[in-house]
Amino acid sequence: MATEHTEHVVVVGAGQMGAGIAQVALQTGLRVTLVDVSEEGLAKGAGRIRAGLAKLVEKGKLEDAKRKAAEANLATATRLSEVKEVDFAVEAATENEELKKRIFQELDGVVKPGGVLATNTSSIPITRIGAVTKRPESVIGMHFMNPVPVMQLVEIIRGAATSDATYEATRALAVRMGKTTVVSRDMPGFIVNRILIPMLNEACFALMEGLGTAEDIDTAMKLGTNQPMGPLQLADFIGLDTCLSIAEVLHKGLGDDKYRPCPLLRQYVDAGWYGKKSGRGFYKY
């Protein structure tokens, strides 16, 4: 497939990530169909996209004519089977392997031959997702960072069967979206989470052992290593439930004790203290 020929992108999942991916694709002049089983979710996602585009116009980063064109290029659907002529699909549904596999079996039927089936998973093996389709060579990981319109990075993850043509098409799309790409092998956590989550987990151990207060640990890392946000605050922003599930993926997938999730992290998740989204984590919000 010629890499320049992506015109119609389907984004599955209208949550924060899906809406962000759709917005960035629309900004580059692509036609986008946003798919979600929930009508309410779709309306919310589309609203989020419109607000994001309007904000760029306000800041002088997007011409109003381009905003109107982008909005006109957005379609929505509650079923994948309704969508036709798909060049490139990006799945951004919940991190649930069975759900993703079902979506990929459906995508197999709607994406054109030679098209790309990408997943925005942060932790599920690309090879396993590809194996449920009839074209594992067309399946690839395209891991955007949150918030998508702001963050510069896209991690591209090649599964065992991913073809060079699929990689080239995916890289071309990411570059067209103004992103910088890195390539990772299909190993637990890929690059970013493989290094980030153990750091956040270690900060939890430091807090649990009384090495310092949450504030001191975060200030030390912020000012001592020039990070914009301390590890505990960052964990709160990511969601402690998400941090724990990725830590569990690393521990199980790599089988090494050094990845074991901190008991304090598990206890906070058990308490329902997920961080910013629930009003309490290592800090109160």
Catalytic residues: 122, 143, 155, 193
Torsion of CA 100, 103, 108, 111, to 10 degrees: -110
CA nearest 170: which of 147, 137, 124? 137
95 is in an annotated binding site: yes
Tokens for 43? 């309306």
66 is in an annotated binding site: no
36 is in an annotated binding site: yes
Q: 3-state DSSP call for residue 38?
A: coil
**Which residues make Cβ contacts (< 8 Å) with residue 126, sequence separation at least 6?**
119, 139, 140, 141, 157, 158, 159, 162, 186
68 is in an annotated binding site: no
152 is in an annotated binding site: no
18 is in an annotated binding site: yes
Q: Around Cβ 131, how many Cβ atoms within 10 Å?
A: 15
61 is in an annotated binding site: no
229 is in an annotated binding site: no
Residues making up the binding site: 13-18, 36, 95, 100, 122, 146, 277
Residues making up the binding site for NAD(+): 13-18, 36, 95, 100, 122, 146, 277
